[in-house]
């Protein structure tokens, strides 16, 4: 079997004569035995080692081989050494490191065991980049890599760690072997390894993902429609100025903004002057204006009401000449024939009974007896003469009445909200660099089955629309929104859309990149940090974007860390703060302007009114008559009021009795607007608004 480390199963080596335990020091490939040790008995099969020598143990493959010139007798299983042996102090290859990290050795662990770094590799390069998978590249020594079976390592675990005295191992890379490069001409072979970032993203739970960024189904799509967590996270990360990284295997939202207090200060003593670079992106990449077009499709429940008041102005004497006022049933039927809902109907009946002085049927005024409950109207002391008979009781007639007509209907609304997000300082410097971002929030209508609309159509709404959440407008309409979408969906959609716009603007202004190299390896630097940098032409407080550790194991034996900073640059130094915005509901301002014309308020119903159903009909009549179109005023008995679409009491037929015109039958009519839901036009509304976004300026102005 293999000689293994750590060693946990072997018995101690013992001295043959005394039986005492013997200290054995094991380091790397060497087996060191103290000179004072004579014969050593190995329990099981004896391993005899001559006195006063250091015996080298050569390990290759699965065999433990001892040089023949040692005079070693070995049989049986491989030599195993116990855990209790005392190690010899290690010699650390890397003595110089950044600040207080201390000396260390580089160790590469795999599923198949440790790799001898110094004997196998020429160069090791480890890169951590924010928002990307970490990578490791291991270049083999010439004529060494081709002797390694690279395929057996493919997709296996690989960890690179730094071993320090009296400290736990510092893990610099933890990933998997991914690919290899062979350069046949120069026998150059390079291993590549990376962290399985996409797999790690997809292994996150929905609960973890919900804590990252912002999400709204109308802006993106339903959670169940995503193929994997990684794709959903990509959408979520577009809403915040940050990258998602994994630190020690755990997700970490890594902000683009520099911390107020830096983690490290890098000055001329830490940065190699010969290895610095500064670059600025093309201005074509700048975005300083984003127009968010949010289309909101929803339904508006309208509630219109008309209040009517009718007074026949009949005296008791009019009962004799013109007959009685209309029946309550006649008035109600006329109101209901409008197609509107009748409510709040109140009426007062006929005049009280008694003796009245009236002129009956063209005669001279005389005292007349009016008996509404008896149903008679006759002269005093002339009981033998004919009388006008009333066949119904007083309360069946409407001497005067009031009522309310109500109409409810659903009007579709297409609301377009144009929200412009921009940075004014950037616009002044670069001119307007615009992007357009479209978001649609759509109400999925359920028509009659929709709970809110169904409740709105309930009869109780007509009695108390405010209780149903309706709001009365200045023009007399009551309105209520019937958005079937989740409560607050419009607000959430607008908020997420604005966050995406802000993030796009901020991302484009991370337009400067500065790369520097430390004069010593700096393992403690990572991509979560902020550094205070003083490098001559470029100085400021910068957020780390990428770290590359380079170990040159052979040619120069020089190791260093390369740090890349991505820097915000703007014409003025601002602070980014997301603005919570209430959706500008332009449609609410248009409720006072319905798509059809109508009169609102209280309508007086007059007797003798004439109704024109079409405006052209009225114009024809007006051209044939000299009288103008009068306003509604107090109307005396017998006066005819001509009014276009006046709500009134219409005289149909008359009878002439001894030269006296007597109205025999009447038709009471109430006119209200004809509103059909299916013919109601869609309301199209557009509103615009502009908000600013602050962009920081991380660096001092470049020195010319």
- DSSP states of 635-665 as a string? --TT---B-TT--EEEEEEEEEETTEEEEEE
Percent pLDDT > 70 in the chain is 59
pLDDT tens figures, 551-571:
988 766 778 999 999 998 887
Does the pLDDT of residue 74 top 60, yes or no? no
* pLDDT-derived band at 660, boundaries 50, 70, 90: low
Higher pLDDT, 119 or 455: 119
Higher pLDDT, 18 or 564: 564
Higher pLDDT, 210 or 145: 210
Does the pLDDT of residue 311 top 50, yes or no? yes
Pick from 198, 187, 200, 195: nearest CA to 126:
195
Helix (H, G, I), strand (E, B) or coil at 200: helix
Give the pair of three-digit tokens for residue 664: 């025999």
Give the pair of three-digit tokens for residue 31: 């087996």
pLDDT on residue 29: 39
* pLDDT-derived band at 43, boundaries 50, 70, 90: very low
* pLDDT-derived band at 576, boundaries 50, 70, 90: confident
Q: How many angstroms separate the Cα of 78 from the Cα of each of 10, 72, 468?
A: 10, 14, 88
- For residue 651, the tally of other CB atoms under 10 A from its CB is 17
pLDDT tens figures, 85-114:
444 445 555 666 666 777 788 889 988 888
Residue 482 backbone phi and psi in degrees, to 5: -120, 50
Does the pLDDT of residue 83 top 60, yes or no? no
Higher pLDDT, 415 or 640: 415
pLDDT on residue 17: 55
Number of H helices, E strands in the chain: 12, 35
Q: How many angstroms separate the Cα of 48 from the Cα of each of 7, 70, 79, 134?
A: 21, 10, 12, 50
pLDDT on residue 666: 57
pLDDT on residue 142: 77
Q: How far is Cα 431 from Cα 283, in angstroms, rounded to an integer?
A: 10
Which pTM was predicted?
0.62
Does the pLDDT of residue 362 top 70, yes or no? no
Q: How far is Cα 425 from Cα 36, in angstroms, rounded to an integer?
A: 82
Q: Which has the minimum average pLDDT: 64-73, 517-526, 541-550, 665-674?
A: 64-73
538 - beta bridge partners? 535
Q: How far is Cα 520 from Cα 96, in angstroms, rounded to an integer?
A: 7
Q: Which has the minimum average pLDDT: 94-98, 191-195, 367-371, 484-488?
A: 484-488
Extended beta strands in 198-288, E state: 242-247, 250-255, 264-266, 271-280
According to DSSP H, which parts of 269-354 are helical? Answer: 316-322, 328-336
pLDDT on residue 70: 43
Does the pLDDT of residue 458 top 80, yes or no? no
Supply the DSSP symbol for 407: E
Higher pLDDT, 509 or 610: 509
Pick from 152, 163, 71: nearest CA to 117:
163
Task: Determine what percent of the chain falls in helix, strand and coil, rounding each to the nearest 5.
Answer: 15, 35, 45
Q: How many angstroms separate the Cα of 508 from the Cα of each of 241, 280, 284, 504?
A: 11, 12, 9, 6
- Total count of residues recorded for the chain: 704
What's the mean pLDDT when you consider all of the chain? 72
According to DSSP H, which parts of 337-487 are helical? Answer: 424-430, 451-456, 460-463
402 burial type by CB count under 10 A (0-12 exposed, 13-18 middle, 19+ buried)? middle
Give the pair of three-digit tokens for residue 382: 């002339």
For domain 105-195, the question of CATH label 2.30.300.10 is answered with yes
Q: How many angstroms separate the Cα of 329 from the Cα of each of 323, 336, 640?
A: 17, 10, 24
Give the pair of three-digit tokens for residue 704: 């010319």
Q: Where are the domains of the chain?
A: 1-89, 105-195, 256-307+400-545+562-596+676-704, 313-398+599-672
Tokens 């509404």, located at residue: 372
pLDDT on residue 529: 94
* pLDDT-derived band at 50, boundaries 50, 70, 90: very low
pLDDT tens figures, 582-629:
776 655 544 444 443 344 445 556 555 555 555 566 567 667 765 544
Residues 61-82, mean pLDDT to the nearest whole number: 43
Q: Which residues of 16-25 are buried (b: 16+ CB within 10 A; e: fewer)?
A: eeeeeebebb
pLDDT tens figures, 249-269:
899 999 999 999 999 998 888
* pLDDT-derived band at 353, boundaries 50, 70, 90: confident
């Amino acid at each position: 079997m293999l000689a293994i480390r750590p060693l946990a199963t072997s018995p101690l080596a013992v001295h043959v004569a005394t039986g005492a335990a013997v200290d054995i020091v094991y380091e790397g490939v060497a087996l060191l035995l103290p000179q004072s040790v004579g014969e050593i008995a190995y329990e099981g099969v004896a391993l005899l080692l001559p006195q006063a020598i250091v015996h080298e143990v050569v390990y290759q493959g699965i065999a433990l081989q001892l040089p023949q010139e040692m005079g070693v007798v070995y049989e049986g299983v491989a030599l195993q050494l116990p855990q209790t042996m005392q190690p010899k102090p290690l010699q650390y290859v890397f003595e110089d490191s950044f600040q207080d990290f201390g000396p260390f050795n580089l160790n590469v662990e795999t599923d198949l065991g440790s790799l001898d770094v110094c004997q196998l590799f020429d160069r090791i390069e480890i890169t951590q980049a924010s928002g990307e998978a970490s990578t490791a590249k291991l270049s083999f020594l010439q004529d060494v890599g081709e002797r390694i079976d690279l395929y057996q390592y493919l997709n296996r675990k690989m960890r690179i760690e730094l071993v320090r005295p009296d400290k736990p191992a510092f893990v610099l890379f933890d990933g998997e072997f991914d690919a290899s490069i062979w350069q046949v001409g120069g026998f150059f072979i390079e291993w590549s390894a990376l962290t399985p970032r996409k797999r790690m993203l997809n292994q996150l739970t929905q609960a973890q993902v919900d804590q990252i960024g912002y999400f709204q189904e109308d802006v993106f799509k339903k959670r169940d429609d995503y193929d994997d967590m990684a794709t959903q996270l990509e959408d979520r990360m577009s809403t915040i100025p940050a990258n998602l990284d994994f630190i020690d295997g755990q997700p970490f939202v890594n902000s683009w903004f520099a911390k107020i207090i830096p983690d490290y200060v890098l000055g001329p003593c830490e940065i190699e002057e010969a290895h610095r670079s500064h670059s600025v992106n093309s201005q074509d990449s700048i975005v300083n204006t984003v127009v968010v077009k949010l289309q909101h499709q929803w339904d508006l429940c309208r509630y219109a009401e008309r209040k009517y008041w009718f007074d026949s102005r009949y005296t008791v004497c009019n009962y004799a000449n013109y007959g009685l006022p209309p029946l309550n049933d006649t008035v109600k039927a006329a109101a209901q024939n409008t197609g509107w809902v009748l409510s709040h109907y109140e009426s007062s009946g006929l005049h009280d009974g008694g003796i009245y002085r009236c002129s009956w049927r063209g005669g001279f005024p005389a005292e007349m007896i009016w008996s509404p409950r008896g149903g008679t109207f006759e002269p005093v002391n002339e009981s033998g003469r004919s009388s006008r008979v009333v066949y119904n009781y007083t309360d069946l007639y409407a001497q005067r009445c009031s009522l309310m007509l109500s109409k409810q209907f659903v009007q579709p609304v297409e609301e377009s909200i144009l929200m412009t997000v921009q940075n004014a300082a950037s616009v002044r410097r670069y001119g307007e660099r615009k992007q357009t971002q479209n978001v649609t929030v759509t109400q999925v209508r359920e028509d009659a089955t929709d709970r809110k609309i169904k409740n709105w159509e309930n009869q109780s709404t007509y009695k108390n629309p405010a209780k149903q959440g309706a709001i009365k407008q200045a023009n007399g309409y009551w309105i209520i929104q019937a958005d079937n979408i989740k409560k607050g969906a419009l607000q959430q959609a607008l908020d997420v859309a604005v966050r995406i716009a802000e993030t796009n603007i901020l991302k484009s202004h991370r337009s400067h990149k500065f790369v520097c190299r430390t004069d010593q390896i700096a393992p403690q630097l990572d991509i979560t940090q902020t550094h205070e940098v003083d490098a001559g032409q470029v100085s400021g407080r910068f957020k780390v974007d990428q770290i590359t550790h380079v170990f040159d194991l052979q040619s120069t034996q020089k190791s260093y860390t390369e740090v890349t900073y991505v820097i915000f640059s703007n014409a003025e130094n601002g602070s980014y703060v997301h603005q919570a915005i209430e959706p500008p509901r332009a449609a609410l301002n248009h409720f006072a302007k319905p798509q059809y014309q109508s009169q609102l308020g209280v309508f007086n119903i007059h007797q003798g009114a004439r109704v024109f159903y079409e405006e052209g009909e009225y114009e024809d009549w007006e051209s044939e008559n000299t009288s103008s179109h009068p306003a509604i005023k107090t109307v005396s008995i017998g006066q005819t009021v001509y009014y276009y679409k006046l709500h009134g009491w219409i005289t149909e037929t008359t009878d002439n009795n001894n030269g006296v015109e007597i109205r025999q039958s009447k038709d009471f009519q109430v006119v209200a607007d004809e509103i059909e839901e299916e013919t109601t036009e869609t309301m199209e509304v557009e509103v615009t608004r502009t908000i600013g976004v602050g962009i920081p300026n991380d660096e001092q102005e470049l020195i010319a």
